[in-house]
Structures are given as structure tokens and as C-alpha cells.
Amino acid sequence: MSTVGDGLDKAVQKAFTRPAPKSAGAQMRYLVRQLKSTRAVAGMLGISQRTVERYVKGRLKQPRPELAARMEAEVKKRWQPQVRARAKKKAATTDGILIDTRARLGYVAPIGSTDEDRVRHLTVALPPRHAARLFEARDQGATDDRLRQITAEALKETYFQDGGRRAGSLEEVRFTDIEHLEFDL
């Protein structure tokens, strides 16, 4: 199961113009340049400063799988900040964001409607204002539950209510049991 935050990060990473460093040494050198010291990198990754220095000099080449994953995540988090900002701004102001999901969706509605939760596969283009809310919440460190709630509100307005043309009495959409979730800018 992927989280909403991870999906947003992957969508932004698709906008990168150059690939992020792949080798352990290149990743470590990049992190040292970004954080300005081997001590800061060591603290962030939970390893010794001497180990960081060995990767930078090329004496160590193959990190443990968990360290390799942490290094890759930290590099991607910092890679091409201007390209990342431009992609977010474009999605939040003009293009919007495309969501492709397979999840359990249900809603709260007046008595007499079929509001039972069921697994649906949706591909929906969310307007720029919803993309802006999602990216703003992600940047402010919102929990995945909060991001899922914002996504549910966006799906309610865009998919279920079709921008106000139908299902006007719909009160709340539930977005749970996510099997697949992918965003695209």
C-alpha cells in the first residue's frame, strides 16, 4: 500500500530534468555538499562520521540495504529543489494533478441512496486548487490521514459531485483501503 505523501513525492520526482546520483559515493558526496559537513550527514543517516568519510573517499562502496534506502530517500528529498518547486507551482496554478487509484470509496448521504463503501478504480483530473491544497499540506508535514482526507474531499467535489452538477446532498466521502495510488502532474 502506498501513502498519499509518497505518491505526491513520486509525481514531483517525474519532473526531474537529470537523474539523481546512483552510486553510494556520489550520493554521500551530494549529501555532504548539501548539509555542509560529514557530521551532519552522519547524524541524519544514523551512522558514524568516519563511515561517511569512507564513502566520500570511495573506500566503502556497498552500503547495507537499509542504509542504501535511507541515502536514496534523503538525496531524492533534496534533489533539484527549483525543478521541484516549478512542478508544484504549475500543478497548483494551471495544470492540476491526475490521480489514479484503486481504493474503497463510500460516502455519507441522505437516506435512500446507495452509500455503501465499495472498491473503485478511478482516474480523475483534480483541479489546481486541490493540487495546491495537497502540496501545501505535504510541505507543512501533514499526516497521511490528513492527506487522505484532503484527497477524499477533492474526489467528492470533482468525481462524485462533478463540480456541483450532481449529488449536491453528499456530505462526506470515505477514502480507505488503498490498493493502488498514483499521482501525475
Q: What is the pLDDT of residues 111-139, one digit of tens each?
A: 655 557 778 898 999 999 999 999 999 99
pLDDT classification of 110: cutoffs 50, 70, 90:
low
By CB atoms closer than 10 A (0-12, 13-18, 19+), residue 175 is: buried
In Å, the largest CA–CA distance within the chain is 69
CA-to-CA distance for 53 and 126, rounded, in angstroms? 45
Average pLDDT, the chain: 88
Residue recorded with cell 477533492: 154
pLDDT of residue 112: 57
> Which 8-state DSSP code applies to residue 127?
-
Against a cut of 0.75, is the pTM above it? yes
Q: 20, 75 in Cβ contact below 8 A? A: yes
Q: 102, 119 in Cβ contact below 8 A? A: yes
pLDDT tens-digit map of 54-82: 999 999 999 999 999 999 999 999 999 99
pLDDT classification of 1: cutoffs 50, 70, 90:
very low
CA-to-CA distance for 101 and 4, rounded, in angstroms? 10
Average pLDDT over every residue of 158-165: 75
